[in-house]
Amino acid sequence: EIVLTQSPATLSLSPGERATLSCRASQSISTYLGWYQQKPGQAPRLLIYDASDRATGIPARFSGSGSGTDFTLTISSLEPEDSAVYYCQQRSNWITFGQGTRLEIK
Amino acid sequence: QVHVVESGGGLVKPGGSLRLSCAASGFSFSDYFMAWIRQAPGKGLECIAYVSGTSILKTYADSVKGRFTISRDNSKNLVFLQMDRLTAEDTATYYCARDLKQWVIGTFFDNWGQGTRVTVSS
């Protein structure tokens, strides 16, 4: 099973700042990685797929990069509504998710 | 507009069974893989089963293999999850989700239901 490790576990930033979230795979997964945002009491929402493609309706301030084992989700200028837990997901071998990064907006 | 709605959750005793349903609308249902993904309280996400548009391909996570069965009825735009021999570790919110791309296996999930809660307890 491919294990995804996300860091940091928690991130606390102010509006307008840049957020950088990391996801590392236990083996190479090419660009078969996506990112989701989940707010309390809601289902996850797909943000990024295939490492860097934005899903429909996702604001341009969300971007993804990486390949192989190291991936990054960047939120260029934080808005208060970006407060959520962010998960990465791989589809290279079955489907697994990272443990999540909690992003708090001060 | 794509819409996915789960139902059928509830409280069940260990060793018992439950059948979840997922009603989908707003897209060509039979063209898409559908998946069940669960989330234990306060925990992360686990994809437990998915089914191809024609039901030819069904795949399960090891944690549920042999106990859970996924199926679909394309005439009614429904997906089901039959859960047998339930244990406390199956307590979770169960989400039904649509695959991002038509006809392609296991990619990413762009439309989710609101989830249905399953609690396994005596």
Per-residue confidence (pLDDT) for residue A54, from 0 to 100? 97
- Residues for chain B: how many in total? 122
Q: Once rounded to an integer, what is the mean pLDDT over residues B44-59?
A: 95
C-alpha span between B14 and B67 (Å, rounded): 13
A3 at interface of B, judged by CB pairs closer than 8 A: no
Q: What is the pLDDT of residues B62-104, one digit of tens each?
A: 999 999 999 999 999 999 999 999 999 999 999 999 999 988 8
B105 falls in which pLDDT band (50, 70, 90)?
confident
Percent of chain A with pLDDT over 90: 100
Q: Structure tokens of B35?
A: 């998946």
Segment (H or E) for A49: strand A45-49
Please state whether B20 falls in left (phi above 0), alpha (psi between -120 and 50) or beta. Answer: beta
User: Taking CB atoms and an 8 Å limit, are A44 and B35 in contact across chains?
Assistant: no
Least CB-CB distance to A87: which of B45, B97, B100? B45
3-state secondary structure of B29: helix
Buried b (16+ CB within 10 A) or exposed e, A30-69: ebbbbbbbbeeeebbbbbbbebbebbeebeeebbbebeeb
pLDDT in tens, A94-104: 999 999 999 99
Q: Choose the closest CB to A43 out of B59, B61, B112.
A: B112
Q: What chain A residue is nearest to B96 in terms of C-alpha separation?
A: A43
Model pLDDT, residue B10:
97
Chain B environment of A42 (Cβ under 8 Å) = 114
- Chain B nearest CA to A77, separation (Å): 24
Is A46 at the interface with chain B, CB within 8 A?
yes
pLDDT at B44 over 90: yes
What does the pLDDT look like over A37-65, one tens digit per residue? 999 999 999 999 999 999 999 999 999 99
* Span A79-104, average pLDDT: 97
Chain B partners within 8 Å of A94 (Cβ): 47, 59, 61, 106
Residue type at position B84: D
For residue A38, CA distances in Å to A35, A85, A87, B10 come to: 10, 5, 8, 23
> Looking at residue A41, what is its pLDDT?
94
Q: Which whole number is the average pLDDT over A10-30? A: 97
Model confidence at A106: pLDDT above 80:
yes
Choose from B60, B108, B116 for mutation: most chain A CBs within 10 A. Answer: B108
Angle at A28 between CA B96 and CA A72, to 5 degrees: 70
CA distance A36 to chain B (A): 9
Q: Suggest the residue from A3, A94, A95, A101 to mutate for an interface test with chain B (most B CBs closer than 10 A).
A: A95
Paired tokens of B17:
């069974």
Q: What was the pLDDT predicted at B1?
A: 94
pLDDT tens for B113-122 read 999 999 999 9
Above 90 in pLDDT, residue A12? yes
pLDDT for position B103 = 85
- pLDDT value of residue B104: 80
Q: Which residue among A42, A46, A94 sits closest to B110, beta carbon to beta carbon? A: A46
pLDDT at B5: 98
Mean pLDDT computed over every residue of chain B: 96
Verify whether the Cβ–Cβ distance A44 to B45 is below 8 Å.
Answer: yes
Tokens 């700042």 belong to which residue? A17
